[in-house]
Structures are given as C-alpha cells and as structure tokens.
Structure 1
Amino acid sequence: MTPTPNKKPDRRPPYQHAADELRRDIEQGRIKPGEQMPSVRELQERFRIANMTARSALNVLRDEGLIYTIHGRGSYVADISDSTDGFAIDYNPPAWYLAKKSEGAVEEGGGEGKPDDESAGSSLIHLLTDLRDQIRALSAEHQELRREVEALKKAQQESRP
C-alpha cells in the first residue's frame, strides 16, 4: 500500500496562482489602495515564474478592476470604494466582449464602412475603459499628494518649539 500524499498538487496555471496570492494580499490589506504593486521582476523572483507569466497575473487583476497601470510608472492597487456619479470605477467590460476580443472578432468598424451595433459598443467600452484608467491614475496621484501634505504638516508641527 502506498501512502497518500498529505497535500494535493496545485493544478492551477502559474499565472493564476500568482494572481490569487496577489489578490489575497490586496484583500487582506497587505497592499493598500494607491500603493504600487511589486514590479514584474519582483513577481518573477517571488513566484519563480517567467516574465510573461508575471504580466499575465497582473492582467488578471487589472481585468478584475483590482489594479490599474500607469504606462511607464507601474501598477497600483485600485481604491475599490471610490465611485463617481453612480458609476463604479472598477467597471469591467462584459464577458461577451472579452470572449469576442480574445477570438479577434471585435473590430473598430463594420464591413461596409459604417459601424454596426457591436463595433459601436466596443468603441464605447474602449472609451469607458480609458476613462476608468485615467480616473484611477488621477486618484493615485491625489492620494500621493495627500500623503505628501500630511508628511509636510507633520514635519512642520515637529519643527515648532
């Protein structure tokens, strides 16, 4: 009789494992809203995964609305409690759009030079996604400025006799 192993092997793809661990870090507050996520290189070292695998893990979190990316600066944890005019900042495109996009079926225009409903919807989704990312970037900058102001106030109070 062979002994049964105590623990089942993790059959998830490596990018899902990394995304799950990072999601847990965010949900448990180890990485707070507005904080920068670890770099791709740091994720590679932490999870012993390839560059593209680390990027895929970040893409999963971005698609879920948990993080946002500022080109050239990195990825940051989204403040999921924020909302503007009733629209949640963590809006995600619908599943049908993501499925069609991955199949390459979503195009910018219809076949006869005039947009059909699907391509118009995809343009709107792109616009909303871009706006969401801009709002998140501004929110991150706002939070950073607030932290700087608080630090300056604290330093000013400490320097007073």
Structure 2
Amino acid sequence: MIVTVDHFNPTPKFEQIAAIVRDQIRRGELRPLMPIPSENQMVEMHGVARDTARAAARLLAKEGWVFTIQGRGTFVARREDWPSE
C-alpha cells in the first residue's frame, strides 16, 4: 500500500513522512535492520524538498525508530530499541 503526504494537511510534511514510516515499521513492511527509503526516494515518493525528507529521517532517529550509518543509509532499529508507546 502506497501512502503519501497530504499537501493540504496542516501537519508539517516531515511529520507526515515520519508517521508513514513509523506505520510501515509497525506493520512489518520495514523490518529491523532494513533500510528505510533514502532521502531521494522520499523526495520522489512524496513530492517534498530534500530538507523535508532529511528532517523526517532525523525525527525518526531522535525517537529511536531508526539509526543512520554515515555513507550507508538509514536503517530500522532493532525492535528492543523502538520507543515504547
């Protein structure tokens, strides 16, 4: 299922993208240690600026859903590292 940003929604686009990725992780579409879409892929999929895609990835990392390896990409964190809800 492809879900994309609602450009008419007042919620910031980076928060919408982060919510989409969180849902994909929870549903198991993105599993631990799998890469999440790259910034370029997010730009293409959601029609947003690169800075917006970067902000979404930073938010997910800050929350503990993903981690980044410089030069390699951003990956889903291990389940035990996910934030409690």
TM over 0.5: yes
SS of the residue corresponding to residue 43 of structure 2 reads helix
Aligned to 1:77: 76
| More contact order relative to length (CA 8 Å, sep ≥ 6) | 2
1:61 aligns with 2:60: yes
Give the deviation of 1:80 after TM superposition.
2.2
- Name the CA distance, whole Å, in 1 between partners of 2:82 and 2:64: 5
In the alignment, which residue of structure 2 is the partner of 1:39?
38
For residues 56-111 of structure 1, the C-alpha deviation after alignment (integer angstroms, 9 at most, x for no partner) is: 00011000100000000000000122xxxxxxx458xxxxxxxxxxxxxxxxxxxx
Q: Which amino acid aligns with 2:45?
A: R
Q: TM-score, normalised by structure 1?
A: 0.45
Identity among equivalent positions (%) equals 32
Q: Runs ≥4 in structure 1, deviation > 2 angstroms?
A: none
TM-score where L is the length of structure 2: 0.83
RMSD of equivalent CA atoms:
1.4
Once the two structures are TM-superposed, the CA of residue 11 in structure 1 deviates from its matched residue by: 1.2
Between Structure 1 and Structure 2, the one with more helix by share is: 1
Q: Which runs of 5+ in 2 are unaligned?
A: 1-7
Task: Give per-residue Cα distances to partners, 1:97-130, cap 9 Å, x unaligned.
Answer: xxxxxxxxxxxxxxxxxxxxxxxxxxxxxxxxxx
SS of structure 2 residue aligned to 1:76: strand
- Aligned mates of 2:23, 2:9 — CA distance in 1: 17
- For 2:10 and 2:22, the matched residues in 1 are separated by 18
